[in-house]
């Protein structure tokens, strides 16, 4: 069902990687009533603030894409923030959407919900079949609770709340901080920082052998709108490309785009995390959706965006203002 373009559509987390891509997508599709609130205006961990905001704004459609998010190091060193913030944000927004009669809500989880030893490619029914990856189990537990929240409100109150599980994402608006970011923006920045050095060297964490799948955030935004319009069921649904590569291959790809002179070294004292997590995306493909970016084009266009943002002194996440001045 096509959503009327004048509907009140709330993007929770609109300044993030995913939220900003969703706002671009919705505006590009002619949505004229996209609702947003900054963290200063609305702390999504606070039920009374969130309920008050829903009462005042009555969103008809909600994209729940806010959260405390980060790469392997942030997840392993800040477990309390990752479990508390995400459980609270999922709970407050889902509950307020029920209280104030939101027509439909899409909740975004993550491929880290699946067991570390899940069968590959990972189909939706691998959920809760085995132990989680220890570097991100706190975040994964909160993300699994988000799926269960949507199912519970669906079953008890008949709410049309759905869940999508994306693979690792990248693109414009990513976090480039060297400690808290995910691998793709981290390596892009490291190669960029190595330009002009006499013997450019980039340190890759871990062994380089883990396998990961990467989806461009504009493809994810497209999939989110597609699911909002075409999917309504209890079970969560995977969103990805179904194609993976090793971290070494990813590093070589980014090196070739950013600084072909750089040499790779591997810091094996850093964690590898889960050995492989590639999603089975046949369920989404069967509904008629597939991604449009390939990884080479996506890395190149993201680096073009990165350079343009630096040149324009735009706000690049993970950089001090002084670094881009």
Ligand X SMILES: NC(=O)C1=CN([C@@H]2O[C@H](COP(=O)(O)OP(=O)(O)OC[C@H]3O[C@@H](n4cnc5c(N)ncnc54)[C@H](OP(=O)(O)O)[C@@H]3O)[C@@H](O)[C@H]2O)C=CC1
Ligand Y SMILES: C[C@H]1O[C@H](OP(=O)(O)OP(=O)(O)OC[C@H]2O[C@@H](n3cnc4c(=O)[nH]c(N)nc43)[C@H](O)[C@@H]2O)[C@@H](O)[C@@H](O)C1=O
Indicate which residues carry an active-site annotation: 139
Does 168 carry a binding-site annotation?
yes
Give the Å distances, CA to CA, from 73 to 5, 115, 135, 186, 270. Answer: 40, 19, 8, 12, 9
Q: Which of ligand X, ligand Y, none sits in contact with 65, Cβ below 5 to 8 A by type?
A: ligand X
Q: 72 or 225, CB closer to ligand Y?
A: 72
**Residue with structure tokens 């994402």?**
169
Taking CB under 6 A as the rule, does residue 204 contact ligand Y? yes
At its nearest, how many Å lie between ligand Y and the CB of residue 270? Answer: 5
CA–CA gap between residue 113 and residue 163 (Å, rounded): 12
**How many H-runs (helices) and E-runs (strands) does the chain carry?**
11, 13
Is position 190 annotated in a ligand binding site?
A: yes
CB 34, min distance to ligand Y, A: 25
Site of tokens 């505006």:
27
Min dist. Cβ of residue 300 to ligand Y (A):
19
Farthest-apart Cα atoms in the chain, separation? 64
Considering the complex, state which of residue 261 and residue 315 has its C-beta at the smaller distance from ligand X: 315
User: Residue of minimal CB distance from ligand X?
Assistant: 16
Closest CA to 274 of 167, 147, 143, 125: 167
Enumerate the β-bridge partners of residue 64.
12, 107
Q: Is 112 in the site for ligand Y (CB under 6 A)?
A: yes
Residue positions counted in the chain: 325
172 binds, options ligand Y, ligand X, none, Cβ within 5 to 8 A by partner type: none
Q: 10 Å Cβ neighbour count for 45? A: 18
Number of Cβ within 10 Å of residue 199's Cβ equals 8
- Known binding residue 143? Answer is yes
Q: Is 14 annotated as a binding residue?
A: yes
Q: In 3D, which of 252, 235, 258, 201 has the Cα closest to residue 123?
A: 235
Of the pair 205, 289, the CB lying nearest ligand Y is at 205
Query: Binds 16, which of ligand Y, ligand X, none (CB < 5 to 8 A, cut-off by type)?
Result: ligand X
Closest CA to 178 of 320, 274, 312: 320
Q: Does 194 bind ligand Y (CB under 6 A)?
A: no
- Provide the strand spans (E) within 126-247: 161-166, 168-170, 201-205, 211-212, 214-216, 237-239, 245-246
Of 115 and 210, the one with the shorter C-beta distance to ligand Y is: 210
At 257, list the tokens.
């785009």
Q: How many residues interact with ligand Y (rule CB under 6 A)?
A: 26
Q: Of these partners, ligand Y, ligand X, none, which one is at the site of residue 108 (CB under 5 to 8 Å by kind)?
A: ligand X
Q: Which of 289, 291, 278 is nearest to 111 (CA)?
A: 278
Q: Tell whether residue 265 is among the known ligand binding residues.
A: no
**Residue 72 interacting with ligand Y (CB under 6 A):** yes
Q: Which does 283 bind (CB under 5 to 8 A by kind): ligand X, ligand Y, none?
A: none
Q: Which of residues 156-185 bind ligand Y (CB under 6 A)?
A: 168, 181-183
Is 169 part of any known ligand binding site? yes
Q: Which of 242, 66, 35 is nearest to 142 (CA)?
A: 66
Report how far residue 51's alpha carbon sits from residue 47's, in angstroms, rounded to the nearest whole number.
6
According to the binding rule CB under 6 A, does residue 122 interact with ligand Y?
no
Cα–Cα distance measured from residue 124 to residue 133, given in angstroms and rounded to the nearest whole number:
17
Residue 111 annotated as part of some ligand binding site: yes
Among 45, 212, 216, 253, binds ligand Y (CB under 6 A): 212
| Residue numbers at the binding site for ligand Y (CB under 6 A) | 70-73, 75, 110, 112, 135-136, 139, 168, 181-183, 186-187, 204-206, 210, 212, 247, 270-273
Q: Please state the residue numbers annotated as binding site for NADP(+).
A: 13-19, 108-111, 143, 166-169, 182
Q: Please state the residue numbers annotated as binding site for substrate.
A: 190, 205, 212, 272
């Amino acid at each position: 069902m096509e959503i009327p373009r004048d509907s009140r559509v709330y993007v929770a987390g609109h300044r993030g990687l995913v939220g900003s891509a969703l706002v671009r997508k919705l505006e590009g599709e002619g949505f004229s009533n996209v609702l947003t609130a900054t963290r200063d205006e609305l702390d999504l961990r606070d039920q009374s603030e969130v309920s008050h905001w829903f009462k005042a704004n009555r969103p008809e459609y909600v994209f729940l894409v806010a959260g405390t998010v980060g790469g392997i190091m942030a997840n392993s060193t800040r477990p309390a923030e990752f479990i508390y913030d995400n459980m609270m944000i999922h709970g407050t927004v889902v509950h307020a959407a029920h209280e104030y009669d939101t027509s439909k809500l899409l909740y975004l989880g993550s491929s880290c919900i699946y067991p570390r030893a899940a069968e590959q490619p990972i189909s939706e029914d691998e959920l809760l079949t085995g132990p989680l990856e220890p570097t991100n189990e706190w975040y994964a537990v909160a993300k699994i609770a988000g799926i269960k929240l949507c199912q519970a409100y669906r079953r008890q109150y008949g709410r049309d709340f759905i869940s999508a599980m994306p693979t690792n994402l990248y693109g414009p608006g990513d976090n480039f901080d060297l400690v808290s970011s995910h691998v793709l923006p981290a390596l892009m920045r490291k190669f960029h920082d190595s330009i002009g050095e006499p013997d450019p060297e980039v340190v890759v964490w871990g062994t380089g052998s883990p396998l990961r799948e990467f989806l461009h955030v504009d493809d994810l935004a497209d999939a989110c709108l597609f699911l909002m319009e075409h999917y309504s069921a209890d079970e969560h649904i995977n969103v990805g490309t179904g194609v993976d590569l090793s971290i070494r291959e990813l590093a070589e790809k980014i090196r070739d785009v950013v600084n072909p002179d750089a040499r790779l070294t591997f810091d094996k004292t850093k964690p590898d995390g889960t050995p492989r997590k590639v999603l089975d995306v046949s369920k989404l493909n069967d509904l008629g959706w597939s991604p449009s970016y390939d990884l080479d084009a996506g890395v190149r266009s993201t680096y073009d965006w990165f350079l343009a943002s630096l040149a324009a002194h735009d706000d690049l996440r993970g950089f001090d203002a002084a670094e881009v001045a």
